[in-house]
Amino acid sequence: MIGRLRWPGAGTALGALYMALCYGFIFLPVIVLVLFSFQSGDLPAPPFNGPSLRWYQAAFADGRLVDGFTNSLLVGGSSSALSVLLGFFAAYGISRYEFPLKRAIQAIVILPLAVSYLLIGMGLLVSASWLGFSPSLSTVVIGHVVVNMPLAFVICLAQLGEHQRRVEAAARDLGASTFRVLFSITAPMIAPALIAAFCLCFTLSWDETLIALLNTRFDVTLPVVILSLLRGGVSPLTNAAGSFIFLCSILLMVVVELLLLRQRR
C-alpha cells in the first residue's frame, strides 16, 4: 500500500503523528499531574516554579494522608491475598475436576468483571447494613475481593494446562495427596503468575475509589482521602499524593510485566 503513495515517507509520518497524539492524549494529564506535584507555589497551575519537594513533605506530614496510605496498604494487601487464594482454588477446581454445571459456575465466577463498581459498592453497603454491619475497611476488602478475584481466577486458569496436569499426575503417582500436590507442585510451578496476579489485584485495589467511598466512614483509603481533599479546592498537595499513588502502581505493573514476560519465554 505504502509503495503506491507519491511520497513513501508520508504514510509513516502520518502514523507517527497519530501515535504521538494518542500517547499525548493518554499521558499529558499524568505528566501535568506529576509536574505540578513539584510546584513550589500554592497552586497546581502554570507558571511552574520549582522544582521543590515541599508538597511531598507536606503530604507525608499530613495525618489523614498517612492514615489513608496505611489503610490502602492494608486493604490492598489483604484483598489481593484473598483474591489470589480464592482465584487459585477456583481455577484448580474448574480445570481439574468434572462436575455438573461446570460451565455455569465458571461464568458466575467471572461475572463480577462485567458488573459496575457502583452496583457492587451499593449492593455491599445495603447488604452490610441489612446484616447489621457498619461500613468499615473489612467491607471494602470484601468488595475488592469480589471485583479482583475473577481476574486472579482467569490468570491462574491460563496456567493450569495439559503439561501442568501431567506433572501433577506424576506427583500423585509418587504418593502425594491433593493438598500436597497443590502446595508443593502446582503453586510453586505457577508462582510467577500468582505473584503477578497479586500485584495486579493490588494495583486495582490501590486506586479503587467508588467501592471504598461508599463503604467507609471514618477509616478511609488513600483515594478517598484525596477525593475529600479535592473538595476543599486544588492544591499541589493532592498532586503529590496522586503522583505517589501513581508511582506505586507503576512499580507493581513493572513487576507484573517482568514476571509474565519471563514466563512466556
Binding-site ranges for other proteins (CB under 8 A)? 163, 166-167, 169-177, 180, 185, 188-189, 191
Where is 129: in which H helix or E strand? Answer: helix 117-131
In the complex, the smallest distance separating the C-beta of residue 148 from other proteins, rounded to whole angstroms, is: 26
Contacts of 54 (CB under 8 A, 6+ apart): 40, 236
Cα–Cα distance, 222 to 243 (Å, whole number): 12
In the complex, the smallest distance separating the C-beta of residue 111 from other proteins, rounded to whole angstroms, is: 29
Q: Which is nearer to other proteins, 3 or 188 (CB)?
A: 188
Q: Which is nearer to other proteins, 75 or 194 (CB)?
A: 194
Q: Which is nearer to other proteins, 34 or 185 (CB)?
A: 185
Q: Which is nearer to other proteins, 65 or 181 (CB)?
A: 181
In the complex, the smallest distance separating the C-beta of residue 96 from other proteins, rounded to whole angstroms, is: 13
Do 93 and 109 meet the contact criterion of CB atoms below 8 Å apart?
no
Sequential DSSP letters for 7-60:
SHHHHHHHHHHHHHHHHHHHHHHHHHHHHHHT--SSSSSSSP-----HHHHHHH
Q: Which is nearer to other proteins, 159 or 239 (CB)?
A: 159
Cα–Cα distance, 173 to 26 (Å, whole number): 53
In the complex, the smallest distance separating the C-beta of residue 191 from other proteins, rounded to whole angstroms, is: 8
Residues in the chain: 265
Q: Which is nearer to other proteins, 82 or 84 (CB)?
A: 84
In the complex, the smallest distance separating the C-beta of residue 152 from other proteins, rounded to whole angstroms, is: 20
Grid coordinates representing 132 are 447489621
In the complex, the smallest distance separating the C-beta of residue 197 from other proteins, rounded to whole angstroms, is: 18
Grid coordinates representing 136 are 468499615
